[in-house]
């Protein structure tokens, strides 16, 4: 602790880097360097930036070369560390980064997110209160064409503007969140076969222990998903993950899981219809595209239902979810 300012580390996972290009990764890391410089000028100690990757220790030099080329400022404002976790999945990489952090606070950022101005100071500010355990930021999808606008409308993140009510219901944004290190080191992201389940389970663990999650306006945008292969795969995984969350939180019978898959299909279809019709104009989507966007959204959650039902009914086994190579850069 420097005065009343906490020391901090930033953990950047590299799994999502498989689906975007290095110049896009460089945008986020360059902004991160600017944010670090800004808070350092305000009195915070220079942080460690921990690049947690699924390769081997020998891969560190290649990663360092890429980062120095795309975001040369980062090594000037922070201490770069590389933490290998061979074959590690998304949450495993985050937990791996925690092990390398030795500071009061651990900030999590993903390789495919880009912070807005003052992101870091807003995220760190609440930790001046020693009782703060978790600060959750605001993540939204970037959009610039029909596909990305549609994803932004139907995705799990709130819209960039005018969506505070939905944002308040969001689980922890594992790509934009900070924890008191002593707490997160003792409560790492839970192990689960799901693709994006652990952040929800961790949120419930925080609440069971009586910790308040501070919701802050620390904003980042997330690069949009790409391609129809990703669309289909991610929809099916979304459904299977919904069943996993239901099982982990409620321990239901198989018949209850099947009923839940049907009720969730109806809920998400209605939610998609409402959100596309109400938010599409603010994205700049032409009126003639709105019906097509709605059809895509309903198709996504129909596929999600098929994934949910198939796991709930025991038609498929509960296997570890990993992103297939065929959906990357699609």
How confident is the model over 28-68, as pLDDT tens digits? Answer: 999 999 999 999 999 999 999 999 999 999 999 999 999 99
Asked if 146 contacts 289 with a C-beta cutoff of 8 angstroms, the reply is yes
Number of neighbours of residue 192 by Cβ within 10 angstroms: 21
> Per-residue DSSP letters for 195-249?
SS-HHHHHHHHHHHTTPPEEEEEEEEEEPPP-SHHHHHHHHHHHHHHHHHHHHHH
CATH of domain 8-222: 3.90.550.10
Round to whole Å and give the CA distance between 215 and 235: 28
- What backbone torsions phi and psi does residue 83 show, to the nearest 5 degrees? -120, 110
* Model pLDDT for residues 283-322, shown as the tens digit of each residue: 999 999 999 999 999 999 999 999 999 999 999 999 999 9
Please compute the mean of the pLDDT values over residues 193-213 and round it to a whole number. 96
State if pTM tops 0.75.
yes
pLDDT of residue 17: 67
Task: Give the model's pLDDT for residue 163.
Answer: 84
Q: How many other C-beta atoms can be found within 10 angstroms of the C-beta atom of residue 212? A: 12
Q: Identify how many contiguous H helices and E strands the chain contains and give both numbers.
A: 12, 8
Strand 176-180 with 134-141, pairing: antiparallel
Question: What does the pLDDT look like over 82-103, one tens digit per residue?
Answer: 999 999 999 999 999 999 999 9
Backbone angles phi and psi of 10, in degrees to 5: -115, 120
| CATH 3.90.550.10 location in the chain | 8-222
Whole-number Cα distances in Å, 282 to 156, 159, 208, 287: 18, 9, 38, 11
Dihedral sign computed on CA atoms, order 302, 305, 311, 314: negative
Please state, rounded to an integer, the average pLDDT across all residues of the chain.
Answer: 94
């Amino acid at each position: 602790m420097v005065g009343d300012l906490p020391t901090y580390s930033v953990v950047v996972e590299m799994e999502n880097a498989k689906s975007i290009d290095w110049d896009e990764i460089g945008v986020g890391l360059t902004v991160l360097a600017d944010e670090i410089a800004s808070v350092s000028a305000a009195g915070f100690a220079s942080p460690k930036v921990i690049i947690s990757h699924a390769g081997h220790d020998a891969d560190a030099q290649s990663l360092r070369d890429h980062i120095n080329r795309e975001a040369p400022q980062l090594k000037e404002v922070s201490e770069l560390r590389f933490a290998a976790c061979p074959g590690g999945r998304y949450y495993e990489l985050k937990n791996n980064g925690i092990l390398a952090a030795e500071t009061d606070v651990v900030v999590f950022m993903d390789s495919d997110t880009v912070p807005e101005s003052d992101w870091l100071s807003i995220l760190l500010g609440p930790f001046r209160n020693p009782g703060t355990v978790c600060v959750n930021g605001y993540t939204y999808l970037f959009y610039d064409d029909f596909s990305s606008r549609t994803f932004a409308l139907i995705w799990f993140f709130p819209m960039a503007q005018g969506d505070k009510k939905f944002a308040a219901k969001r689980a922890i944004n594992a790509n934009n969140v900070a924890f008191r290190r002593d707490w997160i080191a003792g409560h790492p992201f839970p192990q689960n076969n799901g693709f994006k389940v652990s952040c929800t389970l961790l949120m419930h663990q925080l609440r069971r222990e009586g910790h308040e999650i501070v919701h802050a306006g620390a904003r980042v945008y997330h690069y949009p998903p790409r391609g129809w292969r990703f669309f289909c795969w991610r929809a099916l995984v979304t459904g299977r993950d919904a069943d996993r969350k239901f099982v982990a939180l409620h321990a239901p019978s198989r018949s209850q899981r099947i009923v839940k898959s049907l009720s969730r299909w109806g809920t998400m279809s209605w939610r998609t219809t409402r959100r596309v019709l109400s938010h599409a104009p603010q994205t700049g989507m032409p009126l003639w595209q709105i019906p097509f966007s709605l059809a895509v959204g309903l198709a996504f959650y129909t596929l999600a239902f098929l994934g949910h039902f198939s796991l709930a009914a025991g038609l498929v086994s509960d296997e570890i979810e990993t992103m297939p190579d065929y959906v990357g850069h699609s």
